[in-house]
Structure 1
Amino acid sequence: MNPITELLDATLWIGGVPILWREIIGNVFGLFSAWAGMRRIVWAWPIGILGNALLFTVFMGGLFHTPQNLDLYGQAGRQIMFIIVSSYGWYQWSAAKRRALSPENAVAVIPRWATTKERTGLVIAAIVGTLSCAWIFQALGSWGPWADAWIFVGSILATYGMARGWTEFWLIWIGVDLVGVPLLFTAGYYPSAVLYLVYGVFVSWGFVVWMRVQQKEKKEVVEGGVEKRIAEQAI
């Protein structure tokens, strides 16, 4: 058989419920991408892209004849947008490492809070994007268009925020998980729903980690400034 066909059709049965292996593998790739993102490792982006490609075929259930046979246009569409935004993030983090004085030891991004202007842009994009996408998904016949719309828009904003190094992106992910878990459980996408629960715990941890890094960087900048002033006064 064709290896691609075998991957698309491979199914795990748990308690009489069919679960596609590509849904499990795609979510595992997504979890690894989140872990690597927390560690600010560039490989977070290409691994995530592979997971997005697999999950696209899962959430277009009617097109790819999955056991659920449901089309979640927001969930599927966000995989495409993930690939686009992740390509941008991959470029941004790779370029940052190349610009570093010691690329082999450099981190790809320095966490920071978004500015007031940037936060305002995120809020406006979240509201307008969710309203617009809900209308589009409803017209297309998506199952659960409003929840689907927020998950779609929130995921894009979180991924973009990660690419820019905004610590708030972790909080957006938490908002996405709060809506995504009940939607996916109700639709029968059990591995994705369980992974969303794991993501919820993980992104909360990631937020704390980035906060600590941010505070450490701020402390080093302050201490560096004090040392510089002392050195200047000693001259």
Structure 2
Amino acid sequence: MDFLRWLFEAQIPVGGSALVLREVLGNIFGLASALGGMRRKVWAWPVGILGNLLLLTVFLGNVFGAAAPATLWGQAGRQIMFMAVAIYGWYRWQQGRHLAGEGRAIVPSWASNKVRIALIGAMVAGTAALTPLFDALGSYPPVWADAWTFMGSLLATYGMARGWTEFWLIWVAVDVVGVPLLFTAGYYASAFMYLFYGFFTLAGFFVWRRASKRAAAVAGPAPVAVGAAR
């Protein structure tokens, strides 16, 4: 109990203000999870879940004693979403370890054009649908930005679980909107971390793109079925 009390109350002085320790630790776990994801390691998922638990208590600031200047329901809700999708990703990557080889958990691949269109449609439609809900819950404005980061995070995490290389680009779209939102809401540790994520996700995209090219070269061209319908 003493440890939990310390964890929930601890802050790191920075200049004339302070950072919530849980926010810093949560983002460190998140960064470690992203690094593991880039290397396609199964441990990326449980490490990420630990970070999500910490950040959930941060973004629900008013619920946990106003630990931060604003409550972001989208940011808080996506931590729960992260954990739910992470369980799926953890299972999927665990099952695929013996297929990927080289100590990796999955072989990166490109999504089909149909899937890409579906992802874009889900991003736009989900943002439009969630904005009035988050607004009613009192999320920090602009509320659409909170909804955008929620939907983008959901789709990116699902894409990572499926092994689609494009999921890194979805994270870039999330960071472009999420970083200014976090700065204006006073979540400086998360804002700086997301700013770093923006560059990290671009690097991750190129790493996965090279891996997908190698996998395609090893697999060779797909056979064409004789008499297949066109």
The TM-score with structure 1 as length reference comes to 0.90
1:139 equivalent to 2:140? Answer: no
1:126 aligned partner, one-letter code = M
- Structure ranking higher in helix proportion: 1
Name the counterpart of 2:204: 206
Whole-Å Cα distance in 1 between the matches of residues 126 and 23 of structure 2?
26
Provide the C-alpha distance between the structure 2 equivalents of 1:119 and 1:100, rounded to a whole number of angstroms. Answer: 25
Task: Tell me if structure 1 keeps the 8 A contact 2:69–2:185.
Answer: no
**Alpha-carbon RMSD:** 1.8
Q: Aligned AA for 2:61?
A: G
Give the drift of 1:222: 2.8
Report SS of the residue matched to 1:40.
Answer: coil
What does 1:70-149 align with in structure 2 at a 5 Å threshold?
70-97=70-97, 99-100=98-99, 105-144=102-141, 145-149=143-147
Distance across 1 between alignment mates of 2:100 and 2:203 = 30
CA contact (8 A) 1:55 1:76 kept: yes
- Structure 1 residue runs of 5 or longer lacking an equivalent are 226-235
- The Cα of 1:101 is off from its aligned counterpart by 8.8
The aligned counterpart of 1:222 is 220
The answer for the alignment partner of 1:232 in structure 2 is: none
Gaps of 5+ in 2: 224-230
Alignment of 1:59-78 (within 5 A): 59-78=59-78
For residues 68-105 of structure 1, what are the alpha-carbon distances to aligned partners after superposition, in whole Å with 9 as ceiling and x for unaligned?
341100000000000000110000000112x5396xx4
Q: Which residue of structure 1 lines up, in the alignment, with residue 174 of structure 2?
A: 176
CA drift at 1:168:
0.5
- Tell me what 2:35 maps to: 35
What per-residue deviation string (whole Å, max 9, x for no partner) do you get for residues 193-232 of structure 1? Answer: 0000110110000001001111111222239x9xxxxxxx
CA contact (8 A) 1:100 1:106 kept: no
Letter of the aligned partner of 2:124 in structure 1? I
Aligned to 1:19: 19
Structure 1 residues 101 and 84: CA distance shift in structure 2, 3 A: closer
CA distance in 2, matches of 1:114, 1:10: 43
Contact 2:59 2:71 in 1 (8 A): yes
Q: Distance in 2 between matches of 1:210 and 1:101?
A: 13
Report deviation, 1:119: 1.3
TM-score by length of 2: 0.92
Change (3 A) 1:76 1:101: closer
- The DSSP-based 3-state class of the residue aligned with 1:64 is coil
Q: Does 1:185 align with 2:214?
A: no
**Could you tell me whether the CA contact under 8 Å between 2:100 and 2:106 is conserved in 1?**
no
> SS of the counterpart of 1:31?
helix
Identity between Structure 1 and Structure 2 (%): 53
Q: 2:16 corresponds to which letter in structure 1?
A: G
Which residue type is aligned with residue 127 of structure 1?
V
